[in-house]
Amino acid sequence: MSNEEKLIKRSNINNASIDAWKQEGKKIIGTICCHVPEEIIHAAGALPVRLRATGCTEDSSAEVWMSAFSCSFARSCLEFLMDGTYDYMDGLVGSDGCLMAGRIYDNWRYAGKDKIEGKDYYLQQMGVPRMLKDTTLPFYQRELEDMKKGLEAFTGNEITEEKLQASVDLYNETRSLIRDLYELRKSDNPVITGEESLRMTMAAMTMPKEEYNTLMKGFLEEAKTKEPIKNKRARLMIIGSALDDPEYIKVIEDQGGLVVTDATCYGSRYLWEPVEVDDTGVMASLTKSYLSRPTCPRMTNLHDELHDFILKAVEDYKVDGVIYIRMKYCEIWGGESVFFEDKFKAANIPMITLEREEIMTSSGQLAVRAGAFIEMIEGGEK
Protein backbone atom coordinates (compact mmCIF):
# COMPACT_ATOMS: atom_id res chain seq x y z
CA MET A 1 0.00 0.00 0.00
CA SER A 2 1.39 3.41 -0.92
CA ASN A 3 1.84 6.18 1.63
CA GLU A 4 -0.92 8.06 -0.15
CA GLU A 5 -3.31 5.14 0.26
CA LYS A 6 -2.35 4.79 3.91
CA LEU A 7 -2.99 8.47 4.51
CA ILE A 8 -6.32 8.36 2.73
CA LYS A 9 -7.40 5.39 4.83
CA ARG A 10 -6.41 7.20 8.00
CA SER A 11 -8.54 10.15 7.07
CA ASN A 12 -11.48 8.06 8.28
CA ILE A 13 -12.69 8.99 11.74
CA ASN A 14 -12.22 5.39 12.80
CA ASN A 15 -9.00 3.97 11.44
CA ALA A 16 -6.13 1.57 12.11
CA SER A 17 -4.04 4.20 13.90
CA ILE A 18 -6.86 4.94 16.33
CA ASP A 19 -7.33 1.22 16.97
CA ALA A 20 -3.63 0.71 17.59
CA TRP A 21 -3.52 3.67 19.97
CA LYS A 22 -6.41 2.34 21.98
CA GLN A 23 -4.94 -1.13 22.08
CA GLU A 24 -1.92 0.33 23.80
CA GLY A 25 -4.29 1.60 26.49
CA LYS A 26 -3.57 5.23 25.74
CA LYS A 27 -6.05 8.07 25.92
CA ILE A 28 -7.73 10.00 23.11
CA ILE A 29 -9.03 13.52 23.64
CA GLY A 30 -11.46 15.13 21.21
CA THR A 31 -11.12 18.80 20.39
CA ILE A 32 -13.63 21.31 19.07
CA CYS A 33 -12.52 24.10 16.74
CA CYS A 34 -9.20 25.67 15.95
CA HIS A 35 -8.10 27.24 19.20
CA VAL A 36 -7.36 24.15 21.28
CA PRO A 37 -3.59 23.71 20.96
CA GLU A 38 -3.13 20.02 20.28
CA GLU A 39 0.48 20.30 21.40
CA ILE A 40 -0.64 20.40 25.04
CA ILE A 41 -2.68 17.21 24.66
CA HIS A 42 0.20 15.55 22.86
CA ALA A 43 2.63 16.56 25.58
CA ALA A 44 0.33 14.88 28.11
CA GLY A 45 0.74 11.62 26.23
CA ALA A 46 -2.78 11.60 24.79
CA LEU A 47 -3.89 11.63 21.17
CA PRO A 48 -5.83 14.73 20.11
CA VAL A 49 -8.58 14.09 17.58
CA ARG A 50 -10.30 17.07 16.01
CA LEU A 51 -14.07 16.61 16.05
CA ARG A 52 -15.76 16.44 12.64
CA ALA A 53 -18.67 14.73 10.99
CA THR A 54 -17.31 13.49 7.68
CA GLY A 55 -19.78 11.17 6.02
CA CYS A 56 -22.67 11.93 8.35
CA THR A 57 -25.93 10.94 6.68
CA GLU A 58 -28.35 11.28 9.56
CA ASP A 59 -28.53 13.90 12.31
CA SER A 60 -32.06 13.59 13.63
CA SER A 61 -31.03 12.63 17.17
CA ALA A 62 -28.81 15.68 17.43
CA GLU A 63 -31.50 17.87 15.89
CA VAL A 64 -33.75 17.00 18.82
CA TRP A 65 -31.11 18.56 21.07
CA MET A 66 -29.86 21.44 18.96
CA SER A 67 -33.00 22.23 16.93
CA ALA A 68 -33.35 22.66 13.19
CA PHE A 69 -32.02 26.22 13.54
CA SER A 70 -28.54 25.07 14.39
CA CYS A 71 -25.56 24.75 12.10
CA SER A 72 -25.72 21.29 10.55
CA PHE A 73 -21.99 20.78 10.93
CA ALA A 74 -22.24 21.26 14.70
CA ARG A 75 -25.37 19.13 14.80
CA SER A 76 -23.69 16.33 12.87
CA CYS A 77 -20.69 16.40 15.20
CA LEU A 78 -23.07 15.95 18.13
CA GLU A 79 -24.77 13.14 16.23
CA PHE A 80 -21.46 11.31 15.87
CA LEU A 81 -20.78 11.77 19.57
CA MET A 82 -24.21 10.37 20.37
CA ASP A 83 -24.25 7.48 17.91
CA GLY A 84 -20.99 6.00 19.14
CA THR A 85 -18.72 7.04 16.28
CA TYR A 86 -16.48 8.74 18.83
CA ASP A 87 -16.82 6.20 21.61
CA TYR A 88 -13.06 5.78 21.53
CA MET A 89 -12.64 9.25 23.01
CA ASP A 90 -11.73 9.58 26.68
CA GLY A 91 -12.64 13.23 26.84
CA LEU A 92 -13.50 16.39 25.01
CA VAL A 93 -11.95 19.86 25.11
CA GLY A 94 -14.24 22.44 23.61
CA SER A 95 -13.58 26.00 22.66
CA ASP A 96 -16.16 28.62 21.94
CA GLY A 97 -15.06 29.02 18.36
CA CYS A 98 -18.60 30.08 17.63
CA LEU A 99 -21.79 29.69 19.64
CA MET A 100 -22.70 26.52 17.79
CA ALA A 101 -19.37 24.96 18.69
CA GLY A 102 -20.06 25.87 22.31
CA ARG A 103 -23.40 24.13 22.13
CA ILE A 104 -21.86 20.87 20.85
CA TYR A 105 -20.02 20.75 24.14
CA ASP A 106 -23.07 21.82 26.20
CA ASN A 107 -25.44 19.34 24.61
CA TRP A 108 -22.98 16.47 24.73
CA ARG A 109 -22.80 16.81 28.53
CA TYR A 110 -26.57 16.28 28.69
CA ALA A 111 -27.22 14.00 25.73
CA GLY A 112 -24.17 11.89 26.51
CA LYS A 113 -24.68 11.53 30.26
CA ASP A 114 -24.72 7.74 30.02
CA LYS A 115 -21.34 7.73 28.33
CA ILE A 116 -19.77 10.38 30.53
CA GLU A 117 -21.05 10.18 34.08
CA GLY A 118 -19.20 7.85 36.37
CA LYS A 119 -16.58 7.23 33.68
CA ASP A 120 -12.99 8.35 33.48
CA TYR A 121 -13.89 11.08 30.99
CA TYR A 122 -12.19 14.46 30.67
CA LEU A 123 -14.32 17.52 29.96
CA GLN A 124 -13.19 21.08 29.58
CA GLN A 125 -14.55 24.11 27.82
CA MET A 126 -12.05 26.83 27.03
CA GLY A 127 -13.01 30.45 26.59
CA VAL A 128 -11.01 31.86 23.72
CA PRO A 129 -10.81 35.64 23.28
CA ARG A 130 -12.27 36.99 20.08
CA MET A 131 -9.73 39.74 19.75
CA LEU A 132 -5.99 39.91 19.56
CA LYS A 133 -4.78 42.67 21.88
CA ASP A 134 -2.59 43.10 24.93
CA THR A 135 -5.43 42.36 27.35
CA THR A 136 -6.48 39.12 25.67
CA LEU A 137 -3.17 37.24 25.47
CA PRO A 138 -2.70 36.73 29.25
CA PHE A 139 -6.34 35.65 29.51
CA TYR A 140 -5.96 33.03 26.80
CA GLN A 141 -2.67 31.84 28.29
CA ARG A 142 -4.44 31.29 31.57
CA GLU A 143 -7.03 29.15 29.78
CA LEU A 144 -4.21 27.10 28.29
CA GLU A 145 -2.55 26.75 31.71
CA ASP A 146 -5.88 25.46 33.06
CA MET A 147 -6.02 22.97 30.24
CA LYS A 148 -2.46 21.85 30.97
CA LYS A 149 -3.22 21.32 34.65
CA GLY A 150 -6.45 19.49 33.89
CA LEU A 151 -4.79 17.15 31.43
CA GLU A 152 -1.89 16.48 33.78
CA ALA A 153 -4.35 15.42 36.45
CA PHE A 154 -6.37 13.34 34.02
CA THR A 155 -3.49 11.50 32.34
CA GLY A 156 -1.16 11.40 35.32
CA ASN A 157 1.58 12.76 33.09
CA GLU A 158 3.37 15.95 33.97
CA ILE A 159 3.70 18.32 31.03
CA THR A 160 7.22 19.65 31.40
CA GLU A 161 8.64 22.53 29.40
CA GLU A 162 10.82 20.02 27.55
CA LYS A 163 7.88 17.81 26.62
CA LEU A 164 5.89 20.78 25.42
CA GLN A 165 8.84 22.02 23.36
CA ALA A 166 9.18 18.56 21.81
CA SER A 167 5.48 18.58 20.92
CA VAL A 168 5.80 22.02 19.36
CA ASP A 169 8.76 20.80 17.31
CA LEU A 170 6.81 17.76 16.14
CA TYR A 171 3.79 19.84 15.21
CA ASN A 172 5.92 22.39 13.43
CA GLU A 173 7.24 19.54 11.31
CA THR A 174 3.62 18.60 10.51
CA ARG A 175 2.93 22.20 9.57
CA SER A 176 5.92 22.25 7.32
CA LEU A 177 4.85 19.00 5.64
CA ILE A 178 1.33 20.29 5.09
CA ARG A 179 2.78 23.40 3.48
CA ASP A 180 4.89 21.10 1.28
CA LEU A 181 1.71 19.25 0.34
CA TYR A 182 0.15 22.55 -0.68
CA GLU A 183 3.32 23.51 -2.51
CA LEU A 184 2.65 20.61 -4.89
CA ARG A 185 -0.64 22.24 -5.78
CA LYS A 186 1.00 25.41 -7.05
CA SER A 187 2.19 23.54 -10.10
CA ASP A 188 0.45 24.16 -13.42
CA ASN A 189 -0.44 20.48 -13.41
CA PRO A 190 -0.58 19.36 -9.78
CA VAL A 191 -0.32 15.72 -8.83
CA ILE A 192 -3.16 15.78 -6.31
CA THR A 193 -6.72 16.97 -6.39
CA GLY A 194 -8.40 19.16 -3.83
CA GLU A 195 -10.38 16.18 -2.67
CA GLU A 196 -7.22 14.16 -1.99
CA SER A 197 -5.53 17.07 -0.30
CA LEU A 198 -8.42 17.51 2.11
CA ARG A 199 -8.30 13.81 2.97
CA MET A 200 -4.61 14.17 3.72
CA THR A 201 -4.96 17.15 6.05
CA MET A 202 -7.85 15.43 7.80
CA ALA A 203 -5.72 12.34 8.29
CA ALA A 204 -3.48 14.52 10.45
CA MET A 205 -6.44 15.11 12.73
CA THR A 206 -7.11 11.43 13.40
CA MET A 207 -3.71 9.84 13.86
CA PRO A 208 -0.50 10.39 15.83
CA LYS A 209 1.59 13.13 14.28
CA GLU A 210 4.73 10.98 14.51
CA GLU A 211 3.15 8.43 12.18
CA TYR A 212 1.55 11.10 10.03
CA ASN A 213 4.82 12.89 9.45
CA THR A 214 6.48 9.67 8.34
CA LEU A 215 3.67 8.85 5.93
CA MET A 216 3.52 12.37 4.59
CA LYS A 217 7.27 12.43 3.94
CA GLY A 218 6.84 9.17 2.08
CA PHE A 219 3.97 10.57 0.07
CA LEU A 220 5.94 13.68 -0.86
CA GLU A 221 8.64 11.38 -2.26
CA GLU A 222 6.04 9.34 -4.15
CA ALA A 223 4.55 12.52 -5.52
CA LYS A 224 7.71 13.22 -7.50
CA THR A 225 6.84 10.39 -9.83
CA LYS A 226 3.10 10.79 -9.79
CA GLU A 227 1.24 11.51 -12.99
CA PRO A 228 0.21 15.18 -13.18
CA ILE A 229 -3.45 16.05 -13.48
CA LYS A 230 -4.28 17.56 -16.83
CA ASN A 231 -7.29 18.84 -18.68
CA LYS A 232 -8.78 20.70 -15.76
CA ARG A 233 -10.60 23.82 -16.86
CA ALA A 234 -10.26 26.15 -13.88
CA ARG A 235 -8.05 26.48 -10.81
CA LEU A 236 -10.25 27.06 -7.80
CA MET A 237 -9.87 28.12 -4.21
CA ILE A 238 -12.38 27.29 -1.47
CA ILE A 239 -12.95 29.67 1.41
CA GLY A 240 -15.61 29.57 4.10
CA SER A 241 -17.17 27.52 6.84
CA ALA A 242 -15.86 24.22 8.13
CA LEU A 243 -15.59 21.81 5.21
CA ASP A 244 -14.76 18.25 6.25
CA ASP A 245 -16.39 16.48 3.33
CA PRO A 246 -14.03 15.50 0.48
CA GLU A 247 -17.04 14.32 -1.52
CA TYR A 248 -18.21 17.92 -1.71
CA ILE A 249 -14.96 18.91 -3.40
CA LYS A 250 -15.17 15.86 -5.65
CA VAL A 251 -18.51 17.04 -7.03
CA ILE A 252 -16.90 20.36 -7.95
CA GLU A 253 -13.83 18.74 -9.44
CA ASP A 254 -15.97 16.31 -11.43
CA GLN A 255 -17.27 19.36 -13.27
CA GLY A 256 -13.79 20.14 -14.56
CA GLY A 257 -12.44 22.39 -11.83
CA LEU A 258 -9.37 21.71 -9.75
CA VAL A 259 -9.32 22.96 -6.19
CA VAL A 260 -5.72 24.07 -5.75
CA THR A 261 -5.93 25.73 -2.35
CA ASP A 262 -8.28 26.84 0.38
CA ALA A 263 -8.79 28.91 3.48
CA THR A 264 -10.82 26.47 5.54
CA CYS A 265 -10.23 25.11 9.01
CA TYR A 266 -9.93 21.46 7.92
CA GLY A 267 -7.56 22.46 5.15
CA SER A 268 -4.80 25.04 5.19
CA ARG A 269 -6.02 26.78 8.32
CA TYR A 270 -5.57 23.68 10.49
CA LEU A 271 -1.80 23.67 10.91
CA TRP A 272 0.16 26.16 8.84
CA GLU A 273 1.96 29.01 10.56
CA PRO A 274 4.83 27.63 12.66
CA VAL A 275 4.82 28.20 16.41
CA GLU A 276 7.92 30.25 17.05
CA VAL A 277 9.12 29.75 20.59
CA ASP A 278 10.76 32.87 21.96
CA ASP A 279 12.25 33.76 25.32
CA THR A 280 8.78 34.18 26.87
CA GLY A 281 8.55 30.39 27.10
CA VAL A 282 6.75 27.64 25.24
CA MET A 283 3.29 28.24 26.67
CA ALA A 284 3.41 31.98 26.04
CA SER A 285 4.60 31.32 22.51
CA LEU A 286 1.80 28.83 21.90
CA THR A 287 -0.63 31.44 23.21
CA LYS A 288 0.58 34.10 20.81
CA SER A 289 0.69 31.77 17.89
CA TYR A 290 -2.78 30.28 18.30
CA LEU A 291 -4.49 33.59 18.98
CA SER A 292 -2.81 35.55 16.22
CA ARG A 293 -3.06 33.15 13.29
CA PRO A 294 -5.84 34.08 10.86
CA THR A 295 -7.88 30.93 11.03
CA CYS A 296 -11.53 31.83 11.36
CA PRO A 297 -13.41 35.13 11.11
CA ARG A 298 -14.49 34.61 14.73
CA MET A 299 -11.55 36.87 15.56
CA THR A 300 -13.13 40.28 15.27
CA ASN A 301 -9.95 42.21 14.61
CA LEU A 302 -8.14 39.76 12.32
CA HIS A 303 -10.35 40.04 9.24
CA ASP A 304 -7.67 41.86 7.24
CA GLU A 305 -5.07 39.22 8.05
CA LEU A 306 -7.41 36.47 6.87
CA HIS A 307 -8.15 38.36 3.67
CA ASP A 308 -4.45 38.95 3.07
CA PHE A 309 -3.88 35.21 3.39
CA ILE A 310 -6.64 34.54 0.85
CA LEU A 311 -5.49 37.17 -1.61
CA LYS A 312 -1.91 35.98 -1.44
CA ALA A 313 -3.05 32.39 -2.00
CA VAL A 314 -5.04 33.50 -5.05
CA GLU A 315 -1.83 34.87 -6.48
CA ASP A 316 0.52 32.09 -5.37
CA TYR A 317 -1.72 29.28 -6.56
CA LYS A 318 -2.77 31.05 -9.76
CA VAL A 319 -6.42 30.81 -8.76
CA ASP A 320 -9.01 31.47 -11.47
CA GLY A 321 -12.01 31.63 -9.17
CA VAL A 322 -12.99 31.49 -5.52
CA ILE A 323 -15.80 29.34 -4.16
CA TYR A 324 -17.16 30.92 -1.00
CA ILE A 325 -19.01 28.29 1.00
CA ARG A 326 -21.37 29.30 3.75
CA MET A 327 -22.64 26.57 6.02
CA LYS A 328 -26.30 27.32 6.64
CA TYR A 329 -26.59 29.13 10.00
CA CYS A 330 -22.85 29.76 10.18
CA GLU A 331 -23.13 33.49 10.82
CA ILE A 332 -19.43 34.04 11.27
CA TRP A 333 -18.51 32.96 7.75
CA GLY A 334 -21.95 33.89 6.43
CA GLY A 335 -21.28 37.54 7.19
CA GLU A 336 -17.64 37.63 6.20
CA SER A 337 -18.52 38.84 2.72
CA VAL A 338 -19.37 42.25 4.12
CA PHE A 339 -15.69 42.63 5.00
CA PHE A 340 -14.09 41.25 1.86
CA GLU A 341 -16.50 42.04 -0.99
CA ASP A 342 -14.83 45.33 -1.92
CA LYS A 343 -11.33 43.87 -1.75
CA PHE A 344 -12.21 40.90 -3.92
CA LYS A 345 -13.98 43.12 -6.43
CA ALA A 346 -10.95 45.38 -6.58
CA ALA A 347 -8.73 42.36 -7.16
CA ASN A 348 -11.08 41.27 -9.95
CA ILE A 349 -11.48 37.75 -8.57
CA PRO A 350 -14.45 35.74 -9.88
CA MET A 351 -16.37 34.34 -6.96
CA ILE A 352 -19.41 32.17 -6.39
CA THR A 353 -21.26 31.86 -3.08
CA LEU A 354 -22.68 28.47 -2.17
CA GLU A 355 -24.74 27.53 0.86
CA ARG A 356 -23.97 24.11 2.26
CA GLU A 357 -25.42 21.63 4.73
CA GLU A 358 -23.24 18.99 6.33
CA ILE A 359 -25.37 16.15 4.97
CA MET A 360 -24.95 16.42 1.23
CA THR A 361 -28.38 16.04 -0.25
CA SER A 362 -28.08 18.42 -3.16
CA SER A 363 -25.03 17.24 -5.08
CA GLY A 364 -26.89 17.68 -8.37
CA GLN A 365 -27.52 21.33 -7.67
CA LEU A 366 -23.93 21.79 -6.52
CA ALA A 367 -22.68 20.19 -9.73
CA VAL A 368 -24.82 22.51 -11.87
CA ARG A 369 -23.66 25.63 -10.05
CA ALA A 370 -20.02 24.59 -10.00
CA GLY A 371 -20.21 23.71 -13.70
CA ALA A 372 -21.74 27.09 -14.54
CA PHE A 373 -19.06 28.88 -12.53
CA ILE A 374 -16.29 27.01 -14.33
CA GLU A 375 -17.88 27.86 -17.68
CA MET A 376 -18.11 31.48 -16.65
CA ILE A 377 -14.41 31.51 -15.76
CA GLU A 378 -13.54 29.86 -19.07
CA GLY A 379 -15.60 32.46 -20.88
CA GLY A 380 -13.66 35.18 -19.14
CA GLU A 381 -16.70 36.67 -17.43
CA LYS A 382 -16.25 38.32 -14.06
Partner 1 sequence: MAEKFDLFKDISDSADAAVNYVGQKHPENLWMFDIQKVYWNEVHNAKALGKKLIYMGACVPMELLYAFDCTPMLLDMLPTRLCTTPELAAKYIDIAEEHVAASMCGIDKVDLGTVLSGDIPEKPDAFIYSTVPCDSSRVAYPAIDKHLGVPSYCMDIPYRKDETGYKYIADQNKEIITFLEDLTGTKLNMDKLKEVMEISDKTMILMKKIADLRKNHPCPLPGALLFLNQLIPAMAGHPEMLKCMEAQYAVAKHIVDHKMGAVKKENFRVLWLQNMLWCNLSALHYMEKTYGAIVVMEAFGYQETDLFNGSTDIDEICYISAKKALALPMIHGSSGPVEDYLHLVDDAMEAYDIDVAMYVGHVGCKHCWAAEKILKDMVQDKYGVPMMSLDVDAVDIRYKNNDEMVAVFKDFFDTLIENKKE
Contacting positions for partner 1 (CB under 8 A) = 64-67, 69-71, 74, 96, 98-100, 102-103, 106-107, 110, 125-131, 133, 135-136, 139, 142, 297-298, 300-301, 303, 326, 328-332, 334-339, 341, 355
Q: CB 128 → partner 1: shortest distance, Å?
A: 8
* Pick 42 or 269: Cβ nearer partner 1: 269
Q: CB 367 → partner 1: shortest distance, Å?
A: 23
- Distance (Å, rounded) from C-alpha 137 to C-alpha 240? 26
Q: Do the Cβ atoms of 165 and 172 come closer than 8 Å?
A: no
Tell me the residue type at 125: Q
Q: CB 255 → partner 1: shortest distance, Å?
A: 24
Q: CB 302 → partner 1: shortest distance, Å?
A: 10
Report angle CA 269, 274, 277 to the nearest 5 degrees.
Answer: 140
* Pick 190 or 240: Cβ nearer partner 1: 240
- Distance (Å, rounded) from C-alpha 180 to C-alpha 202? 15
Q: CB 143 → partner 1: shortest distance, Å?
A: 8
Residue among 293, 248, 267 nearest 182 (CA): 267
Q: CB 147 → partner 1: shortest distance, Å?
A: 13
* Pick 203 or 265: Cβ nearer partner 1: 265
Which residues neighbour 319 within 8 Å (Cβ) at sequence distance 6 or greater? 235, 236, 237, 260, 261, 313, 349
* Pick 106 or 180: Cβ nearer partner 1: 106
* Pick 66 or 159: Cβ nearer partner 1: 66
CA distances from 348 to 102, 259, 313, 381 (A): 37, 19, 14, 10
Concatenate the DSSP letters of all residues of 53-66 into one string.
Answer: -TT----HHHHHHH
Q: CB 193 → partner 1: shortest distance, Å?
A: 29
- Distance (Å, rounded) from C-alpha 317 to C-alpha 295? 19
* Pick 83 or 355: Cβ nearer partner 1: 355
To 10 degrees, the CA torsion angle through 200, 48, 297, 293?
-90
* Pick 80 or 317: Cβ nearer partner 1: 80
